[in-house]
Structure 1
Amino acid sequence: MSTRMTGLVKAERKAGAVLMELPIPAIASDEVRIRVKASSICGTDMHIYHWDEWAEQNVITPNVFGHEFAGVVDEVGSAVRGILPGDHVSAEGHIVCGTCKQCRSGNAHVCPNTRSFGISAPGCFADYAVTKAVNIIHNDPSMPHELACLQDPLGNAVHTVLSGDIVGRSVAVIGCGPIGLMAIQVAKAVGAGRIIAVDLHDYRLGMAASLGADECVKPTSGKDMAAELRRLTGGAGIEVGLEMSGSPQAINSLLEAMSNAGRVSLLGIPSKAVPIDLGRHIIFKGLQVYGITGRRMYQTWHQIKGLLDAGRIDLSSLVDHTFTLDRYEEAFELMSSGQCAKIVFKH
Structure 2
Amino acid sequence: MKALVKEKAEPGLWLRDVPEPSIGPGDVLIKVLRTGICGTDLHIRSWDEWAQQSITAPLVLGHEFAGEVVETGRDVADIAVGDRVSGEGHLVCGKCRNCLAGRRHLCRATVGLGVGRDGAFAEYVALPASNVWVHRTPVDLDIAAIFDPFGNAVHTALSFPLVGEDVVITGAGPIGLMAAAVARHAGARKVLITDVSEERLELARKVGADLALNVTEATIAEGQRALGLREGFDVGLEMSGRPEAMRDMIANMTHGGRIAMLGLPPQEFPVDWSRIVTSMLTVKGIYGREMFETWYAMSVLLEGGLDLAPVITGRYAFHDFEAAFDAAADGRCGKVILDWTA
Corresponding residue of 2:258: 263
Corresponding residue of 2:167: 171
> Which residue among 315, 332, 337 is the counterpart of 2:308?
315
CA RMSD in angstroms comes to 1.9
Looking at structure 2, the residues matched to 318 and 44 of structure 1 have their Cα atoms a distance apart, in angstroms, of 18
> Which residue among 27, 31, 34 is the counterpart of 1:31?
27
Corresponding residue of 1:344: 337
| Structure 1, 52-61 or 25-34: larger mean CA deviation | 52-61
Q: Output aligned runs, 1:15-26, within 5 Å.
A: 15-26=11-22
Q: Deviations over 1:46-95 (max 9, x none)?
A: 23223333333433432111111111112212222222222211111111
Tell me, yes or no, if the aligned pair for 1:39 and 1:68 is still in contact at 8 Å. yes
Unaligned runs of 5+ in 1: none
Corresponding residue of 1:247: 242
Looking at structure 2, the residues matched to 16 and 231 of structure 1 have their Cα atoms a distance apart, in angstroms, of 46
Task: Give the Å deviation of 1:44.
Answer: 2.4
Task: Give the Å deviation of 1:316.
Answer: 2.3
Tell me, yes or no, if the aligned pair for 1:155 and 1:301 is still in contact at 8 Å. yes
Looking at structure 2, the residues matched to 18 and 40 of structure 1 have their Cα atoms a distance apart, in angstroms, of 17
Corresponding residue of 2:280: 286
Letter in 2 for 1:268: G
Looking at structure 2, the residues matched to 217 and 14 of structure 1 have their Cα atoms a distance apart, in angstroms, of 37
Corresponding residue of 1:325: 318
Q: Deviating runs (4+, > 4 A) in structure 1? A: none
> Which residue among 273, 276, 284 is the counterpart of 2:270?
276
TM-score (norm 2): 0.93
TM-score (norm 1): 0.91
Task: Give the Å deviation of 1:235.
Answer: 4.8
Looking at structure 2, the residues matched to 59 and 227 of structure 1 have their Cα atoms a distance apart, in angstroms, of 41
Task: Give the Å deviation of 1:141.
Answer: 7.0
Letter in 1 for 2:276: I
Q: Output aligned runs, 1:1-347, within 5 Å.
A: 5-140=1-136, 142-220=138-216, 225-232=219-226, 234-270=229-265, 272-311=266-305, 313-347=306-340
The percentage of counterpart residues that share the same residue type is 40
Task: Give the Å deviation of 1:214.
Answer: 0.6
- Equivalent residue pairs, number: 339
Looking at structure 2, the residues matched to 265 and 329 of structure 1 have their Cα atoms a distance apart, in angstroms, of 34
Tell me, yes or no, if the aligned pair for 2:207 and 2:308 is still in contact at 8 Å. no
Residues 43, 281 of structure 1: alpha-carbon distance in 2 compared, 3 angstrom cutoff: farther
Looking at structure 1, the residues matched to 112 and 203 of structure 2 have their Cα atoms a distance apart, in angstroms, of 30
Task: Give the Å deviation of 1:278.
Answer: 4.5
